[in-house]
Structure 1
Amino acid sequence: MNFTLHQLQVFLKVSETKSITKAAEELFLTQPAVSIQLKNFQDQFDIPLTEVVGRQLYVTDFGQEIAFAAQAIIDQVNAINYKLAAYKGQLSGRLKIASVSTGKYVIPFFLSGFLRGNPQIELKLDVTNKAQVVRSLVDNEIDFALVSILPDKVPVHAVPLMENRLVLVAGRDFQPPLGVSGIEIFQYITLIYRESGSGTRLAMEGFLNDHKVPIKKMLVLTSNEAVKQAVMAGLGCSIMPVIGIKNELKQGDLKVIEVKGLPICTYWNLIYLKSKRLSPVAEAFLSYLDREKNTVIEQNFQ
């Protein structure tokens, strides 16, 4: 048996994504390159590692055991690299962060300077919805989570980063009915929601419930980008974070509808479990934020 570390990494990514296409994207490889490495790895085993049913790729029970072993090997290789960097006096290790989807407009700016100053650190950043982010935190799969609404019943430490403002927006051609303004506007529009579990949706529903706003028509879409495109296309209006639509507002593709009680103001918080024993890398990142947070905000979010 003569498999390579690269083949282990490719097979592990395929087993995680259940897709050659997605594995290729995340590894920055072409699909043929991933397929070749997967085949070369499979040829060293008499038992199938994967199987395709219909058009869906599945990992066999034996393949799952090999994936578990592959992860252990890769972790050990990473540990060797971290120890070598530490011996040279460099901060090294892995920083694992999960962010709610709108946080993708925020967290990179707080990471870039830290990673430039510590090139031996490996970043794993997962961008998903709030429910999955909290699940990853509770399961101790990550060091930190970026959220705009703190989770209930989960004991966490929170590091406030910056304000998050949500406003009611419409497409450039939207015209409210004659004589209708303020909170009454909700009776005449199709309101576009994010999916259940989204922090933006929770904030929106909180506002609507507090003001006893009746909703006549609604659509549900599964990403901030999908909502933004739908609003620009004139399918309806939505309450959205300014951070994710600032370019569209500047260009006039979206416009803010003034409503009493808006904007909703929450805060982007980097959170971690109170019971979490932070790694040296995680501790260093917190120290970096304490020193540089205000500078990052001034340079990127004014």
Structure 2
Amino acid sequence: MNYTFHQLKIFLKVTQLKSITKAAEELHLTQPAVSIQLRNFQEQFEIPLTEVIGRQLYVTDFGTEIAKAAEKILDEVYAINYKTLAYKGQLAGRLKLSVVSTGKYIIPYFLSGFLKEHPGVELVLDVTNRSKVIESLENNEVDFSLVSVLPDQLQVERTELMPNKLYLIGYKEHELNNDAYDYNIFKELPLIYREPGSGTRQTMEKFIYKNLLPVRKKMELTSNEAVKQAVIAGLGFSIMPLIGIKNELINGELQIIKVEGFPIMSTWNLIWLKNKEFSPLADAYLNYLDQHKKQIISDKFSWYDEWGK
């Protein structure tokens, strides 16, 4: 056998994402390059590692075992690199975070300065829906998770980052009154929902039930981007986090519909398992946030309080 570190890395990413295209995107490679390396890796085994049925890629049982071994090998190689940097006095290691999908609009700003200060740190960032974020935290697969709705079933500790504001939004051609509407407006507007398991969906439904809003559910979509495009196209209205619609508001593709009692408020929290033993890297990142988060909010999110007034 003569497989390379590069092939192991590609194979592991393909098995994690179940997609050559997605693996290529995450690894910043072309799809043909990933396909060639995957084929070269497969040729060293007599038993299939993956199979394609229709257009879906599946990992065989044997492939799953090889992927586990590949992950252990890669972790050991990374550990050697980190120990070398640590011996030279540099902070090094892998910082692992899971982030709810809307959190992708804020978390980079709370990471960029830290990563620039410590070039030996490798970031592993998983952006997914809330249920998977909580699952990865519960399994202790990550150092921290970013959520706007705290989990009920886990004992966690947290540090607050910034407010999360949700507004009722509509497409640009929808005519509005200057005054704020009361809750009766929900009798007229078909609402577009996020999928179950979404933090936005949970916050939205909690508000609806608490205030007995007479909503009309129009459809259910699996991402904030899909919801935005549906609203822009005039397919319905939605309640969405302000943080994810800045560009669409500036471009006039979306508009905030003023309603009494809005915005719905929650808080972006970075959370971790209670009594978790931090690595020096994770501890350093928390200290960085404590020292810099107010300045980051002032520098990067000064626009946040201007919308929806």
CA–CA distance in 1 between the matches of 2:22 and 2:162? 32
Does the 8 A contact of 1:191 with 1:219 survive in 2?
yes
TM-score by length of 1: 0.96
- Is 100-109 or 257-266 further displaced after alignment? 257-266
Does the 8 A contact of 1:137 with 1:272 survive in 2?
yes
Task: Give the ranges of 4+ consecutive aligned residues of structure 1 lying more than 6 Å apart after TM superposition.
Answer: none
CA–CA distance in 2 between the matches of 1:253 and 1:22? 29
2:306 aligned residue: none
What's the CA shift for 1:175? 2.4
SS at match of 1:48: coil
SS at match of 1:284: helix
Does the 8 A contact of 1:171 with 1:232 survive in 2?
yes
- CA deviations 1:159-218 (Å, max 9, x no partner) are 0000111111111111269x9932111000111111111111111111111111112342
2:225 aligned residue: 225
What's the CA shift for 1:47? 1.8
What's the CA shift for 1:53? 2.3
The 5-angstrom pairing of residues 1-302 of structure 1 reads: 1-175=1-175, 181-302=181-302
The alignment of Structure 1 onto Structure 2 pairs a total of residues equal to 301
Query: Counterpart of 1:263 in structure 2: which amino acid?
Result: P
TM-score by length of 2: 0.94
Query: Counterpart of 2:296 in structure 1: which amino acid?
Result: V
What's the CA shift for 1:52? 2.1
- Is 40-49 or 270-279 further displaced after alignment? 40-49
CA–CA distance in 2 between the matches of 1:218 and 1:94? 43
Stretches of structure 1 that go unaligned for 5 or more consecutive residues are none
- Alpha-carbon spacing, 1:55–1:266, altered in 2? closer, same or farther (3 Å): same
Identical aligned residues as a percent: 61
Query: Counterpart of 2:275 in structure 1: which amino acid?
Result: S
- Alpha-carbon spacing, 1:180–1:245, altered in 2? closer, same or farther (3 Å): closer
SS at match of 2:262: coil
Query: Counterpart of 2:131 in structure 1: which amino acid?
Result: A
Does the 8 A contact of 1:176 with 1:185 survive in 2?
no
CA–CA distance in 2 between the matches of 1:42 and 1:33? 14
Query: Counterpart of 1:166 in structure 2: which amino acid?
Result: L
- CA deviations 1:224-282 (Å, max 9, x no partner) are 11111111111111111111112222222211111111101111000000032111111
CA–CA distance in 1 between the matches of 2:55 and 2:165? 42
Does the 8 A contact of 2:170 with 2:232 survive in 1?
yes
SS at match of 2:111: helix
Stretches of structure 2 that go unaligned for 5 or more consecutive residues are 303-309
Does the 8 A contact of 2:181 with 2:260 survive in 1?
no
- Alpha-carbon spacing, 1:243–1:180, altered in 2? closer, same or farther (3 Å): closer
SS at match of 1:277: coil
Does the 8 A contact of 2:96 with 2:143 survive in 1?
yes
The Cα RMSD (Å) is 1.5
- CA deviations 1:96-137 (Å, max 9, x no partner) are 001111100010000000000001101010111111111110
What's the CA shift for 1:152? 0.5
Does the 8 A contact of 2:176 with 2:257 survive in 1?
no
2:305 aligned residue: none
CA–CA distance in 1 between the matches of 2:96 and 2:203? 26
CA–CA distance in 2 between the matches of 1:268 and 1:180? 27
- Alpha-carbon spacing, 1:51–1:251, altered in 2? closer, same or farther (3 Å): closer
CA–CA distance in 2 between the matches of 1:128 and 1:212? 30
SS at match of 1:203: helix
CA–CA distance in 1 between the matches of 2:72 and 2:6? 14
